């Protein structure tokens, strides 16, 4: 077992921000890459804002992303308690240690830390050499007796044997205070890696909780795959430097290191994230697509207990590669399960703008109703021959045909669509369509 100990130290204040999720992920990856230990420490000293609910939201989010922690809430461990609100005696003892070294004094009711004033130089794994000098003593216990973030953060990192601190770049400016404290305790200074911020999609600045895509819980609600989000988040600030994007997670664990973390801030890109999700949907084994689709389709009233399982499987098999996301499934496949599907007016206008689509449809109806081998290769072949004989483009048949039987201009491959729908339904739909024109 490696000696690496990293921690994710959130202050749960009501939601799980994508930036925090990414910090958790990078810590988790580093622990798994090195065979070290991943600690979850809850920095809940702000009693007003840290609720049970927000902690739950955080734990749920981590579990959803597959970021299991080795020590912390629910798990325990040798370095607990893992809630700062339960560590008061430890902070008091640490305060006494500093007092004995003559590094604290009281002023205006608060307890102050005496800085050394020496330049604080760190070799940050992302930023390189960073030097900063503290110029003023700072408060470590407020006048109401509550300890300040810098103090508890450092005391816990020492007591929990944290070897690497991986956190957002917004904490870089705190680091000189922290190293002052580490030195005052004569404790080893951990390795620091300050990871770039996540910028909002448009405009300037860091993503805030009001920006779309900022809250992890929304992804779950919107039907994203955790594996896709995890893969996408890895690339917000890290890359394997070989232009690959969709990478199996085991490989990311193997490849992940500080060298791959970018200095530049990363910009959130919803389109790209959706693209990742679609890619993951494509890679999903068909059985999983089926089991995940069933509740969605029955909720939408498209299937029920008497729906033919083989037919359903067949529909999903031919649609999987064209589908954008699971929540969009009902609108994508509804015409497979009902006869009163809608016709897209825009698509219709486009198809009827040129040629004689109704003539083509009559010809293809004639062909399909008499076709003895109703399977896709033969369907494709016969329509191609029909087009050649009549000296018409093949597209002029397929477009109107697809529209007549599905009401849209997109969807699975036309030959697979016709085969799956079957001869009876296909012919009936074309006839009904022609009657209604
Ligand atoms: N509670 C701090 C935060 O949420 C932790 C900072 C750190 O990782 O050291 O930003």
| Tens-digit pLDDT profile for residues 330-377 | 999 999 999 999 999 999 999 999 999 999 999 999 999 999 999 999
Average pLDDT over residues 231-253: 93
Q: pLDDT for 124-176, tens place per residue?
A: 999 999 999 999 999 999 999 999 999 999 999 999 999 999 999 999 999 99
With a 6 Å cutoff on the Cβ, whether 190 touches ligand 1 is: no
Spacing, Cα 171 to ligand 1 middle (Å): 8
With a 6 Å cutoff on the Cβ, whether 127 touches ligand 1 is: no
Q: Are 268 and 205 in contact (CB under 8 A)?
A: no
Q: Which of 63, 107, 209, 350 is catalytic?
A: 209
Spacing, Cα 225 to ligand 1 middle (Å): 27
Tokens standing for residue 377: 């290769």
With a 6 Å cutoff on the Cβ, whether 153 touches ligand 1 is: yes
Residue having the nearest C-alpha atom to atom 5 of ligand 1? 9
Q: Where are the alpha helices (DSSP H) in 112-266?
A: 149-159, 175-184, 216-221, 226-234, 249-255
**DSSP, residue by residue, 255-316:** H--GGGB-SSPEEP-HHHHHHHHHHHHHHS-HHHHHHHHHHHHHHTTS--TTS-HHHHHHHH
Among 250, 245, 251, 252, which Cα is nearest to 272's? 245
With a 6 Å cutoff on the Cβ, whether 11 touches ligand 1 is: yes
Q: pLDDT for 94-106, tens place per residue?
A: 999 999 999 999 9
Q: pLDDT for 9-60, tens place per residue?
A: 999 887 899 999 999 999 999 999 999 999 999 999 877 777 888 899 999 9
- Does residue 382 surpass a pLDDT of 80? yes
Residue having the nearest C-alpha atom to atom 3 of ligand 1? 10
255 vs 241: CA distance, rounded Å: 10
Residue having the nearest C-alpha atom to atom 6 of ligand 1? 9
The answer to whether 209 is a known catalytic residue is: yes
């Amino acid at each position: 077992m490696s000696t690496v100990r990293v921690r994710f130290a959130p202050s749960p204040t009501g939601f799980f921000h994508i930036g925090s999720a990414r910090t958790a992920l990078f810590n988790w990856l580093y622990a798994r890459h090195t065979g070290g230990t991943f600690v979850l420490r809850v920095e809940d000293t702000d009693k007003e804002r840290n609720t049970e609910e927000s902690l739950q939201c955080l734990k749920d989010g981590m579990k959803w992303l597959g970021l299991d922690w080795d020590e912390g809430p629910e798990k325990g461990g040798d370095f607990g308690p893992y809630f700062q609100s339960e560590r008061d005696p430890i902070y008091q003892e640490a305060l006494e240690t500093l007092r004995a070294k003559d590094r604290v004094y009281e002023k205006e009711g608060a307890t102050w830390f005496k800085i050394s004033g020496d330049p604080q130089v760190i070799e940050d794994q992302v930023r390189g050499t960073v030097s900063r000098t503290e110029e003023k003593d700072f408060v470590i216990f407020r006048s109401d007796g509550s300890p300040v973030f810098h103090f508890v953060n450092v005391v816990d990192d020492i007591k929990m044997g944290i070897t690497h601190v991986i956190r957002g770049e917004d904490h870089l400016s705190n680091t000189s205070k922290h190293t002052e404290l580490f030195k005052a305790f004569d404790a080893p200074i951990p390795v620091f890696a300050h990871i770039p911020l996540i910028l909002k999609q448009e405009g300037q600045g860091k993503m805030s909780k009001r920006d779309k895509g900022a809250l992890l819980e929304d992804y779950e609600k919107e039907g994203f795959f955790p594996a896709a989000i995890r893969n996408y988040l890895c690339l917000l600030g890290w890359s394997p430097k070989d232009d690959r994007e969709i990478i199996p997670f085991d490989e990311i664990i193997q490849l992940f290191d500080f060298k791959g973390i970018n200095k530049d801030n990363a910009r959130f890109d919803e389109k790209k994230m959706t693209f990742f999700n679609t890619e993951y949907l494509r890679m999903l084994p068909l059985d999983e697509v089926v089991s995940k689709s069933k509740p969605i389709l029955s909720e939408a009233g498209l299937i029920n207990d008497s729906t033919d399982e083989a037919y359903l499987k067949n529909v999903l098999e031919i649609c999987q590669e064209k589908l954008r996301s699971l929540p969009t499934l009902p609108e994508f496949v509804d015409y497979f399960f009902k006869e009163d599907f809608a016709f897209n007016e825009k698509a219709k206008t486009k198809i009827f703008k040129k040629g004689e689509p109704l003539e083509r449809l009559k010809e293809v109806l004639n062909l399909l109703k008499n076709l003895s081998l109703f399977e896709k290769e033969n369907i494709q072949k016969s329509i191609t021959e029909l087009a050649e004989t009549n000296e018409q483009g093949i597209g002029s048949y397929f477009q109107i045909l697809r529209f007549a039987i599905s009401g849209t201009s997109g969807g699975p491959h036309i030959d697979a669509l016709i085969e799956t729908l079957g001869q009876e339904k296909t012919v009936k739909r074309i006839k009904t369509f022609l009657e209604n024109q």
